[in-house]
Structure 1
Amino acid sequence: MKKHTVSTFYSVVVLIFLLLVSPNLSAKKRCKPLLEKLHNAQMMQRKSYSLKRGQSLREKEDKARDKWWQCENSSLSTFKSKYGTKKKKVKKNKKKQKNTSHYAKLNKAILNSSKKRVTFNQDSAIVIKSKYQGDKKLAWLQFYQQPIQCQRPKSINVFAYCSEDKLQQRDIFEQKYTQ
């Protein structure tokens, strides 16, 4: 009799344990996509962004965290009733189809238009004018000595120094060249 009650007791304990653990496991599986979405939102926040984008990412993360938390702490039926399942995906697909058809119509309209698209004049030469021309340019190139740190400036301070140095050398060159 004692063996029978001990085995019954163990089976009841195991049954209770399984009942307590199995909803948690199914909730974990059910909530895994929401947790991944939360992690993605957090990962995007770690990258650089503008103020407006930062606010949008923060809202996205808050929504994802709320959904994940609700999923973890509620039953499947309560969660589905609150957030639904596939209705939003259907709406998004319809919206995508509408957008693609809109772009397809635009592309057809562009292709069918009889007007020829005007681009820049490809026949003329590209002319780049510098501060000095001819002999004065050659004299400037011989005169100007660029400092070593100005070849690839790594900071704004160095860049500013290089610009100022070039202006000073230009002033000195102008004075010497006119004499």
Structure 2
Amino acid sequence: MKKFTPLVILCSAVVFLSFAYSPSSFAKKRCKPFLEKLHNIQTMQRKGYSLKRGESLRAKEDKAREKWWRCERSSLAKFTAQYGGKKKKTKKVSKIVKSKKYNALKNRSYYTKGNKALSNSQKNITTFNQNSAIVIRSKYQGSKQLAWSQFYSQPVKCQRPKSMSVFAYCSENKIQQQSEFDKVYRD
């Protein structure tokens, strides 16, 4: 029995290592970038998007799924022939800088187009007469206005109404107070 124990351990270790370093596990490592790209596209699809963007994402997802599936099914020789060897990783910083420059150019052209349209429309704008006096009309004038401001007490909840029902209550309350004020204050 003691002779078989090391032999059993050795055999089980060989079987375990053969499964750990099988071609399928190498294929999974090799195809992991394609699978990650597919997952990234799927997460973008879960967010809100327009119809045009949805069609674009669907096409990208189909293409990424097809690449990943071909990678999973192909051998290492076919994979390297089709997709090449290991690619050099580009610096993410340079990609970010390039994308920022592109976005800046795109935004600049967008805003200059908008400014041209805005400058054309500004020529046609008519302004109000700034030389005349501004007159604010209220329900009460003079001493009656002063008496109204002393008489009227606004409820606390009417200072900033949050709902339409509170606003309606405040409006009705003001009308009631005005009618009471008119009864009390007679010229």
TM-score normalised according to structure 1 size? 0.54
Partner of 1:84: none
Partner of 2:66: 74
- Specify the code of the residue in structure 1 equivalent to 2:113: Y
Partner of 1:46: none
Change (3 A) 1:167 1:104: closer
Once residues 148 and 127 of structure 1 are traced to their aligned partners in structure 2, the CA distance between those partners, rounded to angstroms, is: 29
Asked if the contact 1:150/1:162 (under 8 Å) is kept, the reply is: yes
Matches within 5 A, 1:1-179: 10=18, 13-23=21-31, 25-31=32-38, 33-41=40-48, 57=49, 59=51, 63=55, 66-67=58-59, 69-71=61-63, 73-75=65-67, 100=110, 103=113, 106=116, 110=120, 118-178=126-186
Change (3 A) 1:35 1:120: farther
What displacement does 1:60 show? 6.3
Asked if the contact 1:37/1:64 (under 8 Å) is kept, the reply is: no
What displacement does 1:110 show? 3.5
Once residues 38 and 22 of structure 1 are traced to their aligned partners in structure 2, the CA distance between those partners, rounded to angstroms, is: 25
Could you say which structure has the larger radius of gyration? 2
Identity, in percent, stands at 33
User: Considering only aligned residues, what root-mean-square deviation do their CA atoms show, in Å?
Assistant: 4.4
SS of structure 1 residue aligned to 2:134: coil
Partner of 2:86: none
Change (3 A) 1:122 1:35: farther
Change (3 A) 1:59 1:157: same
Asked if the contact 2:38/2:65 (under 8 Å) is kept, the reply is: no
Deviations 1:76-120 (A, max 9, x none): 699xxxxxxxxxxxxxx9xx69x7598279459749x9x686422
* Structure 2 residues without counterparts, runs of 5 or longer: 1-10, 71-102
Which structure shows the bigger proportion of residues in helix conformation? 1
SS of structure 1 residue aligned to 2:185: helix
Once residues 17 and 73 of structure 1 are traced to their aligned partners in structure 2, the CA distance between those partners, rounded to angstroms, is: 19
Once residues 142 and 51 of structure 2 are traced to their aligned partners in structure 1, the CA distance between those partners, rounded to angstroms, is: 61
Change (3 A) 1:117 1:12: closer
What displacement does 1:134 show? 0.6
* Structure 1 residues without counterparts, runs of 5 or longer: 42-56, 79-92
